[in-house]
Structure 1
Amino acid sequence: MAERPRRHGGVRNRNGGALDAVLVARGPRQADARAERGHGARARRRRDAAGHGGLFGSLGFLTEVTLPELYRSLETALTGRAVVEERLMLRSTTTRQGTTFAEAISLNDTVITKTARSRLIDLSVYVGDEFVTRVKADGLIVATPTGSTAYNLAAGGPIVQPSVDALVLTPIAPHTLTNRPIVIPGSSAVRVVPNMEPRDEVFVTFDGQQGFRLVAGDEVAVRRAGRPMRLIKPSTRSYFEILRTKLKWGEMVSAGRPGDAAP
């Protein structure tokens, strides 16, 4: 983990101009529910370039275009015939002793979590100026609708359609079973305050790629980023069709016939 995230500038082409589009490819090593981490989002965040995903693994909700479909899909996108969706992104600000310690942009989630050898952590959660709850858990996920099918899904959080203007707060393995995920307006300002003891090891991570250790007195504020991510949607498949395919809804699970459909 880095002690302090660095700011990244926008990605430019060889001639120094801003990019019009970014192709994001995913491989088998990234193909699980927790690994839908928004690769390439930081490269696009300060430009209006649209992202186009290509899937080379088996699971990926952003990268719905398979290898056989890729070239035709790229042609559709480059000729301007593809639909461009806008996805809500997060801006997370960590303050330490009253000053801004770090800022980060994330597409899927901001996660406050403990290490494997640490005990449960104690987090006070606020939405706006209102106290929500005090969570004792392995951590807390603040997810976007896009990120609802990432770590949030693996932690038992709800799936939120990308067009819904919302955020999700999902405790990770909470000590109290009544601490359940909650969906809040996308305009909400979330503040998380770890109630730490010296032996606690608490980290904050952004899309699982950038993060650092928190110390006593730190606060993490999460809200909608100033601009969304633009995502090229060349496929004619609906969101629900993608969910059925990726999550294998309606399929029977058996050792002999894993592909059989349910009656």
Structure 2
Amino acid sequence: MRIKMYPLFKRIHIFTKASEEAKNFAVRLKNWLNSYAIESEIFENLAELEHEENLKGVDLLLVVGGDGSLLITARRVAKHGIPILGINLGRLGFLTEVNEEEAFDVLAEILSKPLCISRRMMLRATLIRDGKEILKADVLNDVVVNKAILARIVDVAVYVGDRYITTYNGDGIIISTPTGSTGYALSAGGPIVYPMMENFLIVPICPHTLTDRPLMLPPYEPITIELVAEEKDAWLTLDGQEGTQLQYGDKIVVKQSPYYTYLVRTPDKNYFDILREKLDWK
């Protein structure tokens, strides 16, 4: 039976990770969309996807892969405000909530009506070294400062605005969005935060002092992390994917990004359904 598409959808592009399974599935998606007269292209290279011409007039972006694929896509296209739907070919998939087996049925349901969107706060991280801006990036999940494999501990002083909080001694520290609360922050003992809230979540990683606990703060003031111990090997990691080695005295300033990620919600599944499914709650 043919479905009636909502007239909004004229152009839907697909970003796929590089595996043969994902690429083959992306071709099936493209053919299905084309059968409904929806223009579609498949991209494996994010640099190509980011071209203004390739994003012009795109009503929806499908990401075929796992949460990692969605995170890197979200960082690259956030400034364009394009809604994203993740189709999970990975493992856990908190963000890519649509499974491969149900993808076409869910797409048919989604495309038959106006999109239901979940707006997700992002972070902007700026690395400052010797008073100079070295790196700036927007992330959906988290900004992490942690030790290298052979390092013993890292010491990081943390400030909110110009107010000193404490110096964390341990394996590192996570600054997370509510969306990222089910990622690395959860593994480090942080709470699950409803993803459409707008808060900073500070989670120490294996702190040397057991009274160092997670903090949740409003996003109105920047958080500054300063590497305060010499001869300590530490790294800055963005969304678990892009890493930069840090030096003594480096500062990482984390603010609320001016951009948001717009995730498409599936019609018959709410956030608590996803938590029960992914975390095996009863």
TM-score interval, normalised by the smaller of the two chains: 0.7 to 0.9
Q: Does 1:180 align with 2:213?
A: yes
CA pair 154-187 structure 1, distance change in 2 beyond 3 A? same
What secondary structure, in the 3-state scheme, does the structure 2 residue paired with 1:44 have? Answer: helix
Which is bigger in relative contact order (C-alpha 8 A, separation at least 6)? 1
- Return the alpha-carbon distance in structure 2 between the equivalents of residues 13 and 74 of structure 1: 25
Match of 1:242 in 2: 274
Q: Please state how far the C-alpha of 1:99 moved relative to its aligned partner.
A: 1.4
Equivalent position to 1:11, from 50, 56, 70? 50
C-alpha distance in structure 1 between counterparts of 2:204 and 2:98, whole Å: 32
Aligned pair partner of 2:162 in 126, 129, 135: 129
Distance of 2:185 and 2:234 partners within structure 1: 19
Structure 2 partner of 1:153: 186
Change (3 A) 1:94 1:228: same
Q: Deviations over 1:104-139 (max 9, x none)?
A: 111000000111100111110011111111100100
Give the distance between the partners of 1:131 and 1:153, measured in 2 at CA: 25
Q: Is the CA contact (8 Å cut-off) linking 1:26 and 1:54 kept in structure 2?
A: yes
CA 1:130/1:15 → structure 2, altered by over 3 Å: closer, same or farther?
closer
Q: Rate the CA distance shift 1:117–1:18 in 2: closer, same or farther, 3 A.
A: farther
The CA deviation string for residues 147-195 of structure 1, in whole angstroms up to 9 with x for no partner, is 0000001111110001222110000000011001111113331000011
Other structure's SS at 2:117 match: strand
Q: Does 1:216 align with 2:248?
A: yes
Q: Give aligned-pair identity as a percent.
A: 37
Give the SS at the match of 2:253.
strand
- Given that 1:65 and 1:235 are in contact with CA atoms closer than 8 Å, whether structure 2 keeps it comes out as no
Matched, 1:71 2:78: no
Query: Could you say if the C-alpha distance between residues 9 and 136 of structure 1 is closer, same or farther in structure 2, counting changes exceeding 3 Å?
Result: farther
Q: Does 1:50 align with 2:89?
A: no
User: Which residue of 2 is the match for residue 112 of structure 1?
Assistant: 145
Taking the aligned partners of 2:188 and 2:224, their CA distance within structure 1 comes to: 20
Q: For the residues of structure 1 that align with 2:270 and 2:254, how far apart are their CA atoms?
A: 30
**Distance (whole Å) between structure 2 residues aligned to residue 185 and residue 237 of structure 1:** 28
Distance in 2 separating the partners of 1:185 and 1:55? 31
Distance 2:233 2:99 in 1: 40
Answer yes or no: is 1:168 the counterpart of 2:168. Answer: no
* Whole-angstrom CA distance in 2 between matches of 1:58 and 1:15: 29
Q: Distance in 2 between matches of 1:246 and 1:176?
A: 31
Distance (whole Å) between structure 1 residues aligned to residue 54 and residue 253 of structure 2: 37
Alignment of 1:222-237 (within 5 A): 222-237=254-269
Shift of 1:242: 1.1
Looking at structure 1, the residues matched to 70 and 154 of structure 2 have their Cα atoms a distance apart, in angstroms, of 24
Contact 1:123 1:135 in 2 (8 A): yes
Whole-Å Cα distance in 1 between the matches of residues 234 and 175 of structure 2?
Answer: 16
Match of 2:136 among 100, 103, 122: 103
Q: Quick check: 2:48–2:54 contact (8 Å CA) kept in 1?
A: no
What's the RMSD between the two structures over aligned residues?
Answer: 2.1
CA–CA distance in 2 between the matches of 1:37 and 1:181?
A: 26
Q: TM-score, normalised by structure 2?
A: 0.78
The alignment partner of 2:138 has SS state of: strand
Q: Partners of 2:194 and 2:125 in 1: how far apart?
A: 22
4+ long deviations beyond 2 Å = 12-21, 72-82
The answer on whether the counterparts of 2:124 and 2:136 sit within 8 Å (CA) in structure 1 is yes
